[in-house]
Amino acid sequence: MELSWFSMGIAGLEAAILIGLLAVLLSRKEHYRYVRGGLIQGFLVVIFLRLWLPWTFWDGREFFSPACQSLVGWIWLAGMMVQGVRYAIVSIQQRAWLRHLRTLYPLQRIAGCPYPVRMGERIEEPGVMGWEKTIYLPDLHWEPMELRCVLLHESAHLDHRDLWWLRFGNGLRIVYWWCPWMGRLGAHLEFFLETRVDQKVASSLAPDEYLIYAQVLLGMEKKLRKSSARGKAQQMSSYLWGLRMEQRLKRVLTAGSLALVLTLAFGFQGLESPAFDAYWVARADGTMWLIENGKVKERKPAERFFEQESDLPIVWERERGG
């Protein structure tokens, strides 16, 4: 087995096939997709590990030149760097936004909910965000049953560590940015996690309670849509405080782009040219063979060879095991 740019490309193609297969599995309507979450998680782990174990039995030099392999590898790394910078900017923005919310709204404890809750006007919709196990709720007029159902749903997300799997999916998007069905997998993964949570909540409720739970969640969508205009206006005003952070992020993006250009420039200088691995072989039959990148380019008698000068090294056949 060998490790090279070619082997990493083969590993990437194999992972892309697994990504497509997983996207198809998540799009099916059979019941097993809701209860066999371990199968989905196993697929994600195998897809990620395949690139970290990219060895292959194939010799890439038989298909592509070293320069071509290096070019494709640098393009892959450049795309990963760009995607990584984009996700880093989004992550920094979210952290700044959550830090701002923590200064505005204190934690609350609600009876029957195992996790703390932050409730405020600048929160648009219920959800879990960041690294803290905290539930965020908009400041609406909550009926007791509505509040209970929403807290059950969001608590189930925290119980099953769904945010970690979403981060794992974002990591796959960074690594396999060139995969055409990566976006489809991300959408199906989010839908799968939401559906699995509803199934888990349903298993802990009585049939009549689950019917109320489903009706409440459907009614919540209408309730949130009515307050969307107010939420968007408040969100625009709340983002004004982050202009200085936006400027810092732009500097980070500019510095990252400059580092990317310099990395590519120095990287391409190290690409192997076709004439770099060239030498003459003096054979026992009195002929001289010119070898370039493992291929015979020219043959001539030794007498004619020594009549002209050559800067390439000469290797005797016996030194190469011939």
What type of residue is 27?
Answer: S
Domain residue ranges in the chain: 5-269, 278-320
pLDDT, residue 272, reads 43
pLDDT, residue 62, reads 53
pLDDT, residue 108, reads 85
Q: Where do the DSSP E strands lie in the chain? A: 117-120, 127-128, 135-138, 278-282, 287-292, 295-301, 314-316
pLDDT tens digit sequence for 117-168: 888 877 778 888 888 888 888 877 777 887 888 888 888 888 888 888 888 8
Phi, psi of 303 (to 5 degrees): -60, -45
pLDDT tens digit sequence for 255-295: 666 665 555 555 544 444 444 467 777 787 778 878 876 67
Tracing tokens 């990504």 back to the chain, one arrives at: 19
- Collapsing DSSP to helix, strand or coil, 291 comes out as strand
Average pLDDT of the residues of the chain: 71
Residues 138 and 231: beta-carbon distance below 8 Å: yes
- Kindly state the tokens that stand for 231: 């939420």
Residues 176 and 182: beta-carbon distance below 8 Å: yes
**Nearby residues of 26 by Cβ (< 8 Å), 6 or more positions away:** 33, 40, 185, 188, 189, 191, 192
pLDDT at residue 314 is higher than 50:
yes
DSSP designation for 319: G
